[in-house]
């Protein structure tokens, strides 16, 4: 059978028909063994129906259902991928400033023969592990640790591979006091400049700046049922509709699935998952992730450093540049930015000239006391992004 029965008690609502059919298969197998009856034909037919049901249900998943899969308690985390695809793992600790954040793991390892520096979010699966890793929400020292290790990889000429799986960076008082936003911003800046290949893989949740803090790369891969978003669906729903009950609608309009993000150019490739999701067959999921990472490393190894940096820069420039729903070519994006700057500068110059003229005519002139400077109306008529001052 292509899929495996779910382990553990946690079953998503839309998975219940699959689980019920798989339980019937198990009961029939047990009955056949106990009675020594030949029921292989019936069992094979039920397994075929179960496989079809898995494909049918997962072909029509909604964005919210994919979010639920990304958060599934049995979904493989970095630790699972570490044991399955990484050899010669040597973990490195600490940021040499405050402490060792266990929500981020860093270290040397080999993936498919490639020596790499690995940076990953750690979530844990048991309650004890989740508490120890702060439920996968890093503190500033975690991002500073990640950056130190990525710079070490640059010095040694090793590619960097990151595994992203976090609901977001920790937003507690202590984290803010220690510079959470600055730590993430520093990572974004320096990852864009690393002179070694960088491959990022979103394996579960990709929450906001917490994900971006280790998510700037030459190749951004994303598992089929992962999600990547500026805010959680529940957070978005709470802001827009004052209730988290509309999380499913928020997930739909946020466009956070792998297919949406590939279309937008935010990610570079989708890593397929086993039928039913990675939690149903972690070993196969690990094999697929390994193949995707090795393929990306082989592709990037053909480029010299300057080409690598130039392509990374152009890739980042393309993200978020749109006209009427269509991506803007890099050259056109630069032309638009230049035109916007010229319009803004012209509006500011005209307003300043009018202000000087008004002062020269005398501030006490009643006719001019309430008049707007010449050019201000022009500035008001400009789109918001093009207004001066």
For 254-271, what is each residue's pLDDT tens digit? 999 999 999 988 999 999
Give the residue with greater pLDDT, 125 vs 64: 64
- Rounded to whole angstroms, how far apart are CA atoms 189 and 103? 21
pLDDT at 348: 52
The single residue listed with the structure tokens 């599934």 is 72
Contact of 333 with 327, CB cutoff 8 Å:
no
Which of 48-52, 87-91, 353-357, 371-375 shows the highest mean pLDDT? 87-91
Q: Which residue has the higher pLDDT, 143 or 36?
A: 143
Residue 320 sits at φ, ψ, to 5 deg, of 85, 0
- The DSSP annotation for 354-387 comes to HHHHHHHH-TT-HHHHTPPPTTHHHHHHS-GGG-
Above 50 in pLDDT, residue 389?
Answer: no
pLDDT at position 244? 86
- As a whole number of angstroms, the distance between CA 45 and CA 42 comes to 5
If one compares 169 and 367, the residue with the highest pLDDT of the two is: 169
User: Is a pLDDT exceeding 90 seen at residue 353?
Assistant: no
What's the distance, Cα to Cα, between the start and end of the chain in Å? 65
pTM of this prediction? 0.77
pLDDT band with cut points at 50, 70 and 90 for residue 377? very low
**Tens digits of residue pLDDT in 145-194:** 999 999 999 999 999 999 999 999 999 999 999 999 999 999 999 999 99
pLDDT at 11: 83
Instruction: Please state which of the ranges 204-208, 306-310, 356-360 shows the lowest mean pLDDT.
Output: 356-360
Mean pLDDT computed over 282-293: 96
Residue 154 and residue 146: Cα distance in Å, rounded?
12
Q: CA-to-CA distance for 269 and 111, rounded, in angstroms?
A: 19
* Tens digit of each residue's pLDDT (9 = 90 or more) over 329-350: 666 566 656 655 555 555 555 5
Q: What is the pLDDT of residue 25?
A: 81
The whole-number pLDDT of residue 373 equals 43
Domain ranges in the chain? 13-60, 69-319, 321-358+369-389
Nearest to 73 by CA among 150, 139, 145, 136: 136
Tokens of 167: 């609901």
pLDDT at position 6 is 42
List the structure tokens of 325. Answer: 């729903």
Neighbour count for residue 140 (Cβ, 10 Å):
26
**Residue 295 and residue 293: Cα distance in Å, rounded?**
5
d(CA 144, CA 92): 13
Backbone φ and ψ for 108, nearest 5 degrees, come out as -85, 150
Residue 281 φ then ψ, to 5° = -155, 75
- Quote the pLDDT of residue 368: 42
pLDDT for 378: 42
Would you say how long the chain is, in residues?
Answer: 389
| CB-based contact 154:194 (threshold 8 Å) | yes
User: Mean pLDDT over residues 207-231, rounded?
Assistant: 94
The yes-or-no verdict on residue 385 having pLDDT over 50 is no
Mean pLDDT for the stretch of residues 85-96 = 94
335 token code pair:
């032309």
What string of DSSP letters covers 245-273? GGHHHHHHHHT-BHHHHHHHTSSSEEEP-
The residue assigned the tokens 């300057």 is 306
Q: Which of 275, 232, 216 is nearest to 63 (CA)?
A: 232
Share of the chain above pLDDT 70, in %: 80
Q: Read off φ and ψ for residue 35, nearest 5 degrees.
A: -105, -5
Alpha carbon distances (Å) from 227 to 66, 69, 150, 189, 256 = 7, 10, 24, 23, 5
Instruction: Answer for the pair 160, 117: CB distance below 8 angstroms, yes or no.
Output: yes
Options 3.60.70.12, 3.40.50.300, 3.40.190.80, 3.90.226.10; which CATH number does 69-319 get?
3.90.226.10
pLDDT band at 384 (very low <50, low <70, confident <90, very high): very low
Distances in Å between the Cα of 167 and the Cα atoms of 26, 134, 209, 213, 385 are: 36, 11, 10, 12, 31
Least confident among 8-22, 179-193, 201-215, 226-240: 8-22
Residue with the bigger pLDDT between 121 and 382: it is 121
């Amino acid at each position: 059978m292509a899929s495996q029965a779910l382990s553990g008690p946690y079953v998503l609502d839309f998975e219940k028909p699959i689980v019920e059919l798989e339980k019937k298969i198990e009961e029939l197998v047990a009955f056949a063994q106990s009675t020594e009856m030949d029921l292989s034909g019936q069992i094979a037919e039920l397994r075929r129906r179960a496989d079809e049901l898995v494909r049918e249900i997962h072909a029509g998943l909604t964005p919210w259902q994919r979010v639920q899969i990304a958060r599934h308690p049995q979904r493989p985390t970095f630790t699972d991928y570490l044991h399955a695809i990484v050899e010669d793992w040597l973990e490195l600790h600490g940021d040499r400033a405050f402490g060792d954040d266990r929500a981020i793991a860093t270290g040397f390892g080999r993936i498919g023969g490639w020596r790499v520096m690995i940076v990953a979010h750690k979530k844990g699966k048991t309650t004890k592990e989740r508490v120890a890793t702060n439920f996968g929400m890093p503190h500033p020292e975690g991002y500073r640790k990640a950056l130190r290790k990525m710079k070490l990889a640059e010095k040694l000429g090793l590619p960097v591979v990151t595994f992203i799986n976090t609901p977001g960076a920790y937003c507690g008082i202590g984290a803010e006091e220690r510079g959470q936003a600055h730590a993430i911003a520093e990572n974004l800046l320096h990852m864009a400049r690393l002179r070694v290949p960088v491959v990022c893989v979103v394996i579960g949740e990709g929450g906001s700046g917490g994900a971006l803090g280790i998510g700037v790369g030459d190749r951004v891969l994303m598992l089929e049922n992962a999600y990547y978003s500026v805010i959680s669906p529940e957070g978005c729903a709470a802001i827009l509709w004052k209730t988290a009950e509309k999380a499913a609608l928020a997930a739909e309009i946020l466009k956070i699935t792998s297919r949406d993000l590939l279309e937008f150019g935010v990610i570079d490739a989708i890593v397929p998952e086993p039928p039913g999701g990675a939690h149903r067959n972690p070993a196969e999921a690990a094999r697929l992730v390994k193949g995707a990472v090795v393929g990306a490393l082989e592709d990037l190894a053909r480029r010299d450093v300057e080409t690598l940096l130039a392509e990374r820069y152009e890739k980042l420039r393309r993200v978020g540049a749109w006209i009427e729903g269509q991506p803007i070519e890099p050259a056109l994006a630069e032309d638009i930015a230049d035109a916007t700057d010229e319009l803004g500068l012209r509006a500011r110059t005209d307003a300043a000239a009018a202000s000087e003229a008004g002062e020269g005519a005398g501030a006490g002139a009643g006719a001019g006391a309430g008049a707007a400077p010449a050019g201000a109306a022009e500035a008001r008529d400009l789109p918001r992004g093009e207004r001066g001052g």
